[in-house]
Amino acid sequence: MWETHCKICNRPHIFVYHSNYLRALHGNRLCNACSRRGKTRTPEQCQRISEATKIAMADPIVYSKFKSSYTPENRQKRSTSATQQMRRILKTEVDRTLWECKISNATKAKWKSRTPAEKQKIRLQISKGRKIFQQKMSNSNYKKEHIRKILGSGKITDTKPERQLTAILEVCKFTYKHPFQVEDKVYDFYIPSLNLLIEVDGNYWHGKGLTRKQMIPMQLKHRKNDIFKTKLAKQNGFNILRIWEDAVNMNSVSERISNYV
pLDDT at 199: 92
Q: Which string of DSSP letters, residue by residue, matches 114-149?
A: S-HHHHHHHHHHHHHHHHHHHHHHTSHHHHHHHHHH
pLDDT at 155: 61
pLDDT at 242: 92
pLDDT at 116: 87
Q: How many CA atoms lie within 13 A of 30 on its CB side?
A: 9
Which residue type, as a one-letter code, is found at position 255?
E
pLDDT tens profile 195-253: 999 999 888 888 888 888 888 888 888 899 899 999 999 998 999 999 998 888 888 88
Report how far apart, in Å, the C-alpha atoms of 249 and of each of 48, 86, 122, 179, 180 are: 51, 46, 51, 20, 22
Of 149, 148, 256, 153, the closest CA to residue 196 belongs to 256
Please list the ranges in the chain whose pLDDT falls under 70. 1, 15-19, 23, 26-29, 31-33, 35-43, 45-46, 49, 56, 61-63, 65-104, 151-156
Burial class (CB within 10 angstroms; exposed 0-12, middle 13-18, buried 19+) of 235: exposed
Domain with CATH 3.40.960.10 in the chain: 155-258
State in words which class domain 155-258 has. alpha beta
Does residue 174 sit in helix, strand or coil?
A: coil
**What does DSSP assign to residue 159?**
P
| pTM confidence score | 0.49
Separation between Cα atoms, residue 250 and residue 170, nearest integer Å: 11
Residues 199 and 229 sit within 8 Å (Cβ to Cβ): yes
